[in-house]
Amino acid sequence: WLSSGAIGPMGVVAVLQSWDELTERDFAEVVLGTDPDTWSTIPVDQVTGMAGGYSSWAAVGADRILVHYQVFNRGRGEPGSSVVVIGCGGVGLNVVQGAALASAGTIIAVDLHDDKLAMAQRFGATHLLQNGADADVPEQVMELTDGEGANYVFEVVGVPELVRLGWDCHRVDGTLVAIGVHPSDSEVALPAGQFATTEKTLMSCLYGTSRPTKDIPLLVEMFRQGRLQLDELVTHQFAL
């Protein structure tokens, strides 16, 4: 993936820098802490999964875990906010879950497929919109947000047209977070006249703007408390 050209050399450097602190300490120490009395609170198969086994942690992966922080850190969502998530695959589902954990009031999931929308509902989506050639998603979002648009929109697919869709879905002074990895030569067209009249914000996001040594232990604790759905993300398991 790093050699695909999707993010370029500087993107690779940024990815590595976001995890460089893990080279200074053992991964298990960072994730599980240094108190042996607390280690037994996580089932053994899930602990090994975090290090490369077959549990839900392995299926989720570091990028899936840290995607929650695209809501907490990058989106800076406040309780009661309205959120639109465009794309409900593995990453998008965790954005939905992150929005629910951040106590968003309205969570609107957008996808082409009914089964993915059904999954999004199980992860906390309050409204489901099926995108398609005949769908007017921005208009439906306006109806669900009293004509204002969403406070936060997350584009989680990597398609330029969906970034524009997200732009049309969020409100004046709203925030659009582009998470999906786009082809390096793609471009997004936005209505420039709105830059000076709406104060809308478009921002990128890399690994949830996370600090692994701080954020991963918090997510582990959420899992211990039953607040974080990880097993539910696993659809199949394959032996090597």
In what side-by-side order are the strands of the sheet with 150-155?
127-130, 106-111, 82-86, 150-155, 170-178, 201-204
The pLDDT of residue 58 is: 34
The pLDDT of residue 76 is: 59
192: tokens are 């420039």
CA distance 27 to 125: 33
The pLDDT of residue 121 is: 97
Q: What is the Cβ-side half-sphere exposure of residue 207, based on CA atoms within 13 angstroms? A: 18
What's the one-letter identity of residue 178? A
The whole-number mean pLDDT for each consecutive block of 10 residues of the chain, a chain of 240 residues, reads 42 48 54 56 49 38 45 64 94 89 92 96 97 94 97 94 96 92 93 92 81 77 85 84
Query: Facing residues of 111 across strands?
Result: 130
